[in-house]
Structure 1
Amino acid sequence: MSSSSATSPQKAAGLIVGAIGVVYGDIGTSPLYTLKECFGGPHAIPFTADSIYGVLSLIFWALMIVVSIKYVVFIMRADNNGEGGILALMTLALRGTERKTTRWFLMVLGIFGASMFFGDGMITPAMSVLSAVEGLTLLNHEFEHYVVPASVVILFLLFAIQRFGTASVGKLFGPVMLLWFGSLAVLGLAQIVHHPEVLKAINPWYGLSFILAHKVQAFFVMGSVVLAITGAEALYADMGHFGRFPIRAAWFGFVMPSLVLNYFGQGALLIADPDAVKNPFYLLVPESYRWMMVILATCSAVIASQAVISGAFSVARQAVQLGYCPRLDILHTSEREIGQIYIPFINWVLMIIVLLLVLTYRSSSNLGAAYGIAVTTEMVMATILTFVVMRRIWKWHIGLISTGIALLLIVDIAFFSANAIKIPEGGWFPLVIGAVTFTLLTTWKRGRSILFKRLNEDSLPLEMFVESVGAHPPHVVEGTAVFMTGSKTGVPHALLHNLKHNKVLHERNVLLTITTEDIPYVPDIDRLRVQSLGHNFWQVEAIYGFKEEPDIHEILKISGEQHNLAFEMMETSFFLTRETLIASKVPGMAIWREKLFAWMSKNATKATDFFRIPTNRVVELGTQVEL
């Protein structure tokens, strides 16, 4: 046996364990609260054996249809060069679309879906940790007063350690979640053995008859059933880290059976002891071992929260690279793993809002009203975008995909509608967060487009300028000047200002444009496009994927190695334009959005920091632009 074949199964096993630890943290903690919320709250259903079978059937088929069929089987096929996530899906859908109105519609879907992810990312840590720590009240009723303070401390520490990276903690994620899912399966199976009749709830007729019998109340229950599938979007979003096979193998081989056994075990417990409805998850556990389960559940909740926080960092980085978000400080916490990043601004905003949620709602039941609307909104967006990919990229038959997508949309819209009625009770929160984020992202994208247009209106054609300089050369000084520019056809404003005020040109002038493609990564061999314009002018385009960050040092190194355009850093000066933006009544955006864009631009990370340009080699020249 070759060494490669010997190590391949080991690598696959490692990826599967890693996927269990990272991908399934959110959906894995759903048994803490799902069944409890289905039978609790102001819209509680009649507590009978048939209603238990009905709810279990709905949970089981939600896992099968939404998670197994929709995400694991279909949506995970829509990979953008191996990467997943709502923004990756959006760029894939846009690739096959040419009509301007259709592109605008798809962009709105993708950006709003990403915006709702941040709303979900704020609720998940609060909900998961509160649900886990609430197990303390079953150990001793006097511990009830410590649930909120303990949750606040745990969450604060979780956000505080983000800047140190998660590489060392991440090694524990897989084994801890293996123990967690194994415990879910064993606890559930122990109850099912005593009441095996609960397994008949696998029959979808029990779910359907429950809906037909209870109608309005069943509709409300659907808003709680959706809690069982929160975190399903992580399967697709984390595909780039682990690949399709490990995520699918982990789901079908271990995670899904463990979840199903636990839900059915809770159902069996409720049939035997209706009083267990106050917390069916923890009451599955023998009393002498309950404290151990509280610790394990808290660790699992922290892991689920960590996965969501890391996901928020990843989505924010993609938004920056795709031009929907201002430049942010992005710090790499691992020298080996490119995906391990830390964004201070996102981290502290998340922490403040998560802690406010815990202090405001104070229990998982209260917070349950705010949970679900963000997830279901994103699911609807993902289904529509997948339809476009199936039709335009995969070229599937329109009849086949229309039927399949229609069935998935019926399920998605049913869950969305059931959660929409919770808007007055707390569901408004993720919608507000999503709306604010959507406004910020679209304002930045539109503002940059307007700014680029205004700058181009005032710029000179590049070819004409180079010929003019060649015919009437100004005074030339030693060294290389690199002018950062977003246009490949116009003269950079920094170049014009330098020539106007200093009346000199360097002996070598490089016009550098950094472009982000709609693919996650660009190989080094395709990184640069270099063209000589004559008269000591070169045009360099550096191309990056939406999961990469530009690096000036890398660009200069590749330029010398592959294109024979070498740079000596101590003899190179970087010229940047700093725009002072002024809101005006010129057609473009509403005045308030122009002021918002100007504020975002003012507070964006400096280009020198973002592109990693040595500050002592930078010359900034200002210009005033009316939007």
Structure 2
Amino acid sequence: MFKNKDITIGSLLVALGIVYGDIGTSPLYVMQAILYTNNSIATRELVLGGVSLVFWTLTLQTTIKYVVLTLQADNNGEGGILALYALVKRYFKWLIVPAIIGVAAILADGILTPPISVSSAIEGLNLIVFLKEDATVMIVLVIILLLFSVQKFGTEKIGKIFGPIMFVWFSMIGFFGIVQLVQNPRILEGINPYYAFKLLVSGNVPYILGAVFLCTTGAEALYSDLGHCGRVNIYYSWIFVKITLLLSYFGQGAYLLSREGHTFVNSPFFLIMPRWFIIPGVIIATLAAIIASQALISGSFTLISEAIKLNIFPKLAIRYPTKEKGQVYIGTVNKALCIGCVGIIFIFKQSQNMQAAYGLSITITMLMTTLLLSQYIRFVKNQKKLWIVVLLVFGTIELSFLYANSFKILSGGYVTLIITAALAFVMYVWQYSFEIKKRYLKFVNLTDYKENFNILKTDSELPLYAGNVVYLTKSKLWNQVEPKVIYSIFNNEPKKADNYWFININVTDDPYTREYIFNKIEENRIFVIDFNLGFRVSQGINTLMFQVIRDLIKSGEVVFKPRNYMIDYENLKGIGNFKFIIIEEVLALENDFSAWDSFIISTQLFIKKFTVSPQKWYGIDTSVVDIEKVPILFGKGLPDENLKRIK
């Protein structure tokens, strides 16, 4: 099952630095959240039941669901909810719904994780010096703003120290956990699920489950970061991580159990440390929280990039700040996340208050992943019984946690729901507007217009528009294009050119596909290129076309008329200039859409105003682009009216 040669100390450290930031910093606040359900008073039933619930949640939800089952659902080595969706989307159209909701919930989690993690770490200083609430807020705010300000530079260099820091972090929490366990080993009774069951039947179930669920909030990252770390490294590193996490939880529980009946204002995470180690502990915890936040931010960039290429999110400008595989930067997302984090800090101020909003989003994500995973097991793995077991068992667990977290809505969970709903609505509009257009979209055959191209070529009255004219199309058949493209060539300022290129980009379910198919409508004159690109591959047309044309010239499939005045560049002398035609759509007033479809199309066009322009998205020099606007005339159309002439 495992290949030892794939595992090195370096690869395991990379996994520690990338995968486990979120779930690894959960001990900062989980036991405190459990105590909070009982007015911060430690009782034997609460402590034993709490650590028992944590133990079985990490075992069932994280280890069995994600490490054992979900990691098997890799898409050519890539993981994450969109990679999983790409594997199963052909089976049912409705699977787009859990994919959209899951993506929206993950992005909402990306707004909540930095504030709660960093705040929980900084609040440990209260054991040494009393910090006023405003002082804590300002420290957290400065750290968050600095974190977002460096995103545009990438994390290639500082990312190399993430692994060692997280190793120190996990070693630290494990060590202090062992110290407490030695002093009070009775806490190990909590492994018995009886105590978990006993606590649940004692009442206050929703609040207890809502607090316990926080221990598994980073489990989704184990799957999302599959492509960065590899399955084997996650398998082995999880053994170390889970042991240290359990040692920390049980160590905190041992400390609380020995002080039964006491009220705890501060987090037991820091209380189990010697006083002299509090400041180093806070520093290490803060670094771990920053790494956890960084993982969520980088993950959000990657997720949005994938969603854009799968056409379920508006196009935004994407940069690649470093040569590190898979690292992207999206300025708009960075600003949105930063504003969201700052808003959370000012609204809730303390980590204890943030716990109400935290957890709800990732519960939704996990439930959506379970829906997609069950269909993957059902259709791709063809395991007819296992998919039902997965759906029932994990669906029940996650619905229970969702029910528990729903009690947090009025005390802060509403923030999560608003963010998730807003993002899901944007994605729904973008996806459904595409489906509306596809419903009415028609295509014409290019071969039917050969004569028109010949007449245009011989018309001496028309000046040469460009050496090469390029159109982007959405046809699935290589010899067809939209009528608006034909109209643009022959009617809307006729475009006389030496060569015509029709480009279609097809996003594949494989994340890293880089293929193209070349066809000719007319020899050395009218060409069609179909690109098959994975959902993690850049769609820069300039670079792609340069590579294709170079290949075609080299193979002799395309011969250009020599232009001796042109400077020879990469053996492309004589190719001539290029002009890209981008056709933008505007909603025509005479449409007869249904009221809902009209609203969706109008909303989509409004959202489009805030997205990156097509020429920037496709990496086209703006000096070689012409923009043409065409009305959307889909729908049934208005009935003909008899117009009467009176003079």
| TM-score normalised by L of structure 1 | 0.92
5 Å matches for 1:450-469? 450-453=436-439, 456-457=441-442, 460-469=444-453
5 Å matches for 1:360-371? 360-371=347-358
Determine which of 194, 218, 228 is the counterpart of 1:231. 218
The residue that corresponds to 2:512 in the other structure is 521
Measured in 2, the distance between the counterparts of 1:504 and 1:162 equals: 44
**How far 1:591 sits from its partner (Å)?**
3.9
Measured in 1, the distance between the counterparts of 2:51 and 2:417 equals: 29
Measured in 2, the distance between the counterparts of 1:591 and 1:316 equals: 26
1:459-507: CA deviation from partner (whole Å, max 9, x where unpaired): 6432312354347755384622211222242246345324324434212
1:137–1:144 Cα contact (<8 Å) kept: no
Change (3 A) 1:12 1:626: farther
1:277 aligns with 2:235: no
1:483–1:511 Cα contact (<8 Å) kept: yes
1:389 aligns with 2:376: yes
1:261 aligns with 2:243: no
Determine which of 535, 554, 567 is the counterpart of 2:543. 554
Measured in 2, the distance between the counterparts of 1:533 and 1:491 equals: 16
Identity among equivalent positions (%) equals 31
2:29–2:120 Cα contact (<8 Å) kept: yes
1:485–1:492 Cα contact (<8 Å) kept: no
1:30-79: CA deviation from partner (whole Å, max 9, x where unpaired): 000000011115x5487322321111000000000000000000011011
The residue that corresponds to 1:154 in the other structure is 143
The residue that corresponds to 2:484 in the other structure is 493
1:75-112: CA deviation from partner (whole Å, max 9, x where unpaired): 110111111111111121223x1xxxxx2321101111
Measured in 1, the distance between the counterparts of 2:423 and 2:543 equals: 32
5 Å matches for 1:131-530? 131-142=120-131, 144-212=133-201, 214=202, 216-252=203-239, 254-274=240-260, 275=262, 277-278=264-265, 279-334=267-322, 336-396=323-383, 398-453=384-439, 456-457=441-442, 460-470=444-454, 473-475=457-459, 477=464, 479-487=467-475, 488=477, 489-491=480-482, 493-523=484-514, 527-530=515-518
**How far 1:243 sits from its partner (Å)?**
0.9
SS class of match (1:185): helix
Larger Rg: 2
Change (3 A) 1:55 1:91: same
**How far 1:608 sits from its partner (Å)?**
1.2
The residue that corresponds to 1:571 in the other structure is 577
Measured in 1, the distance between the counterparts of 2:40 and 2:456 equals: 86
Measured in 2, the distance between the counterparts of 1:507 and 1:533 equals: 14
1:45–1:51 Cα contact (<8 Å) kept: no
Change (3 A) 1:137 1:510: same
1:39 aligns with 2:19: no
Measured in 2, the distance between the counterparts of 1:407 and 1:578 equals: 48
Letter in 2 for 1:469: F
Unaligned runs of 5+ in 2: 560-571, 635-647
**How far 1:392 sits from its partner (Å)?**
0.5
The residue that corresponds to 1:602 in the other structure is 609
Measured in 2, the distance between the counterparts of 1:370 and 1:411 equals: 20
Measured in 1, the distance between the counterparts of 2:494 and 2:30 equals: 71
1:260-305: CA deviation from partner (whole Å, max 9, x where unpaired): 0000000011012344733100111100110111111111111100
Measured in 2, the distance between the counterparts of 1:202 and 1:210 equals: 13
Measured in 2, the distance between the counterparts of 1:235 and 1:605 equals: 31
SS class of match (1:134): helix
Measured in 2, the distance between the counterparts of 1:570 and 1:614 equals: 15
Change (3 A) 1:55 1:617: same
| TM-score normalised by L of structure 2 | 0.89
The residue that corresponds to 2:49 in the other structure is 54
SS class of match (2:264): helix
Change (3 A) 1:481 1:288: same
1:529-581: CA deviation from partner (whole Å, max 9, x where unpaired): 11111262111111211111112233223313444448667522222212223
The residue that corresponds to 1:100 in the other structure is none
1:71–1:235 Cα contact (<8 Å) kept: yes
Measured in 2, the distance between the counterparts of 1:582 and 1:23 equals: 49
Measured in 1, the distance between the counterparts of 2:494 and 2:603 equals: 36
Measured in 1, the distance between the counterparts of 2:458 and 2:433 equals: 36
Measured in 2, the distance between the counterparts of 1:159 and 1:582 equals: 41
Letter in 1 for 2:227: G
**How far 1:119 sits from its partner (Å)?**
1.0
Measured in 1, the distance between the counterparts of 2:227 and 2:358 equals: 27
Change (3 A) 1:142 1:26: closer
1:621 aligns with 2:608: no
Measured in 2, the distance between the counterparts of 1:324 and 1:439 equals: 11
1:22 aligns with 2:8: no
The residue that corresponds to 1:66 in the other structure is 61
Change (3 A) 1:244 1:48: same
Query: Quick check: 405-414 or 561-570, which moved more?
Result: 561-570
SS class of match (1:624): strand
**How far 1:404 sits from its partner (Å)?**
3.8
SS class of match (1:141): coil
Measured in 1, the distance between the counterparts of 2:489 and 2:324 equals: 41
2:436–2:597 Cα contact (<8 Å) kept: no
Change (3 A) 1:83 1:209: same
**How far 1:609 sits from its partner (Å)?**
0.9
Change (3 A) 1:93 1:491: closer
Measured in 1, the distance between the counterparts of 2:606 and 2:325 equals: 31
The residue that corresponds to 2:566 in the other structure is none
The residue that corresponds to 1:4 in the other structure is none
The residue that corresponds to 2:114 in the other structure is 125
The residue that corresponds to 2:78 in the other structure is 83
SS class of match (2:60): helix
The residue that corresponds to 2:638 in the other structure is none
Change (3 A) 1:172 1:113: same
SS class of match (1:341): coil
Query: Quick check: 10-19 or 23-32, which moved more?
Result: 10-19
**How far 1:626 sits from its partner (Å)?**
4.4
